[in-house]
Amino acid sequence: MAITGRDAFLGRVRGALGRSPGAPELDSATHIGLSVEDVRRSADDVRREMTESADALLDAITESAATAGWKVRRVASPEDAADVVAQICAEAGATKVLRSDQDIFASVPVDAALESKGITPGIATVGEAGADVSILKQAAFDSDVGITGVDYAIAETGTVVLHPRKGLSRLLSLAPERHIAILNRGDVLPSLDELFTLERADYNDGAIEGSMNLISGPSRTGDIAATIVDGIHGPLEVHLVIVG
């Protein structure tokens, strides 16, 4: 696309710094100098750790997610996870439930579990027919519950990571009153640092998505009389269902 006004601006920056154009000497404080291979190797290390330490990381996220404000349920099987999701929806008195079109719903039978409670979930996609995006927006705002999978979770901070893409709307985890996220064993990262290692490797491979959301609890504000209140613009309540 377009870049406007850059040359003159950068000229003034160089003038202020007394610096001539060119690459800087690399500083050990930042990771800017790492080669594509270095990053890929680090990313492989991270993925190995996610598998090898999967149980310890699941224990850690169970605790940190609760601290961050998630209502956490840990279950043994995908079927149990689907039942818990349906139970949360029923207890909330939900009638309008939307889910994403992610792979996880092939193994976690959420639709069937919801049907057994008399709830028919919608799927939050614009669809092949190229329906208007405003229909999706309206549906997301009108829904009682939005259900998604989890791309990664972060043990350090109790965070769920989602990359909006085809099948996963940006609004689904934001506009409905409740968000339920289903986390599989093996998808938990130790800390923010490992997440950005993976993102960076994806970027180098040209596989990065248009955006990424880190979600750590319900939507919150402290802007009236410094009192913390849950549920300002986004979900009032967030549930994390952990399988494994």
Site for another protein, residues 29 to 68, rule: CB under 8 A:
29-32, 34, 64, 67-68
12 touches another protein (CB under 8 A):
yes
Residue 161 CA to residue 218 CA, distance in Å, equals 14
DSSP letter for 33, please.
T
191 touches another protein (CB under 8 A):
yes
Q: Judged by CB under 8 A, which of 114, 164, 182, 188 binds another protein? A: 164
Residue 215 CA to residue 202 CA, distance in Å, equals 20
**With the CA atoms of 167, 170, 171 and 174 taken in that order, what torsion angle do they form, in degrees rounded to the nearest 10?**
120
Of 207, 69, 213, nearest to 151 by C-alpha is: 213
80 touches another protein (CB under 8 A):
no
Nearer to another protein, 65 or 119 (CB): 65
Residue 36 CA to residue 205 CA, distance in Å, equals 9
Residue type, 13: V
At its nearest, how many Å lie between another protein and the CB of residue 98? 11
Nearer to another protein, 69 or 186 (CB): 69
User: Interacting stretch for another protein, rule CB under 8 A, among 55-63, 103-111, 114-122, 191-199?
Assistant: 191-199
**Are 81 and 182 a contacting pair, CB within 8 Å?**
yes
Count residues binding another protein (CB under 8 A).
85
- Identify residues 115-154 at the interface with another protein (CB under 8 A): 124-126, 133, 136-138, 141
- Identify residues 87-116 at the interface with another protein (CB under 8 A): none
Q: Which helix (H) or strand (E) holds 230?
A: strand 229-230
